[in-house]
Structure 1
């Protein structure tokens, strides 16, 4: 076996070890989260002021599994980020490694902020708009499964998109992007984000604005973050 093959094998072994560690940690937190799933369900459905329908016992189990999965992933996100940092650390300079390590709290904070923004602002706004489309036309019976899927789709994408400034800061520190590059592609980025907002929301101008403005703001924050990182790099 050549030295290059040995090096690739070592990297794959290291990657497998860290993936196993993350998976075992997720399973442990998932089991603990199952215990708190009923409380999380009460919290998520509290704005409705009513109990929701389930179509069978399997729905109850599936609801708890989804809630426990989201809770456990959110809780171990800093640990996942640390494992990614530990894996790529040998390829980074000491100063780069220390700088990237400081992003771990930011990753967690941005993810939780995205979830909160989606849950407290986007979800109720879109929910009201969609229900208003069926006024005097339908008898609306909301199941727990339907409602949680709706909440999932209006919060999780935003939580991921809120990581954009952190990703930009990381790429800027590595010298792969800069503020000038982001400004030069601002028009294309705006168009892409507005299209994304339209796809994630119903055909309603107010809903589109509710989703579009935060996405555009996130991009501008990414430019500011990139410029700040550039100044620190000198």
Structure 2
């Protein structure tokens, strides 16, 4: 049986079950590994808020926060194997050209995700925290709950990681011939409005975080249009060259 051959429904479900079991086991092992090094991980997490002191408001709060951190990082550590399991599941139903696009999307998706997370960790989070600390007065000192801090930085890291996938999405749509660059240019004003709405939804409810997310999104959108235009022109030239050769 070749890769392109259709599997029966039972075989599909069996294959899916196998991939899910492997992924779940790897995520659990990754989470346990991360929990084993939780002290080192916590030092990295609180580094952007250097100088601040944290509290926890209930006996289980800190433990629950540690478990959540371990699970999220466990998923991140296990992501290469999880992505491989996804690839092995969808591979038989893809054509050769489609496989290249999917592999490219997976690889570049990880790269853009890491860039977005790094940008948030090293630049956005420290700037945002410093901004809020400056708002304190003598009678009101900044004292943060660790659980709330984890929720705050998690939403920023995840949001910026996802936002930095925008160029990849636009490039893939152009490469697949689904959308032309002129379409992105035509609806630029609507996209700008949408960017600020998305920034307000994804980030914590403060103007600083929302603005700091919207600005990179605008830059990424304009950058994506430039790359999309280059790809579109190249595809058009290759198509015209092929027509000329055939004639």
TM-score normalized by the length of structure 1: 0.82
C-alpha distance in structure 2 between counterparts of 1:222 and 1:10, whole Å: 40
CA gap 1:50/1:191 in 2 versus in 1, 3 angstroms: closer
Which of 141, 146, 149 aligns to 1:147? It is: 149
Count how many residue pairs are aligned between Structure 1 and Structure 2: 229
Equivalent residue of 1:102, what SS? helix
Which residue number in structure 2 is paired with residue 93 of structure 1? 95
CA displacement at 1:131 relative to structure 2 = 3.6
CA gap 1:22/1:165 in 2 versus in 1, 3 angstroms: farther
Which residue number in structure 1 is paired with residue 137 of structure 2? 135
Which of 210, 213, 217 aligns to 1:211? It is: 213
Q: Deviations over 1:33-54 (max 9, x none)?
A: 1112211111121232244212
Q: Deviations over 1:70-89 (max 9, x none)?
A: 22222233333333333332
Query: After alignment, is 66-75 or 6-15 more displaced?
Result: 6-15
C-alpha distance in structure 2 between counterparts of 1:154 and 1:59, whole Å: 21
Contact 1:165 1:219 in 2 (8 A): yes
C-alpha distance in structure 2 between counterparts of 1:208 and 1:185, whole Å: 22
C-alpha distance in structure 1 between counterparts of 2:226 and 2:144, whole Å: 42
Contact 2:117 2:161 in 1 (8 A): yes
CA displacement at 1:126 relative to structure 2 = 2.1
Q: How does 1:47-196 map onto structure 2 within 5 Å?
A: 47-136=49-138, 138-196=140-198
CA displacement at 1:228 relative to structure 2 = 4.9
Contact 1:78 1:108 in 2 (8 A): no
TM-score normalized by the length of structure 2: 0.78
Which residue number in structure 1 is paired with residue 26 of structure 2? 25
Which residue number in structure 1 is paired with residue 4 of structure 2? none
Q: Which runs of 5+ in 2 are unaligned?
A: 1-6, 239-247
C-alpha distance in structure 2 between counterparts of 1:21 and 1:90, whole Å: 18
Contact 2:27 2:75 in 1 (8 A): yes
CA displacement at 1:225 relative to structure 2 = 4.2
Q: Which runs of 5+ in 1 are unaligned?
A: 1-5
Equivalent residue of 1:176, what SS? coil
Which residue number in structure 1 is paired with residue 46 of structure 2? 45
Q: Deviations over 1:204-227 (max 9, x none)?
A: 4x5543221101122233334444
C-alpha distance in structure 2 between counterparts of 1:152 and 1:185, whole Å: 31
Which residue number in structure 1 is paired with residue 13 of structure 2? 12
Which residue number in structure 2 is paired with residue 222 of structure 1? 224
RMSD after superposition: 2.8
Q: Deviations over 1:163-185 (max 9, x none)?
A: 22223334444443343333333
Compare CA radii of gyration and give the structure with the larger one.
Answer: 2
CA displacement at 1:128 relative to structure 2 = 2.7
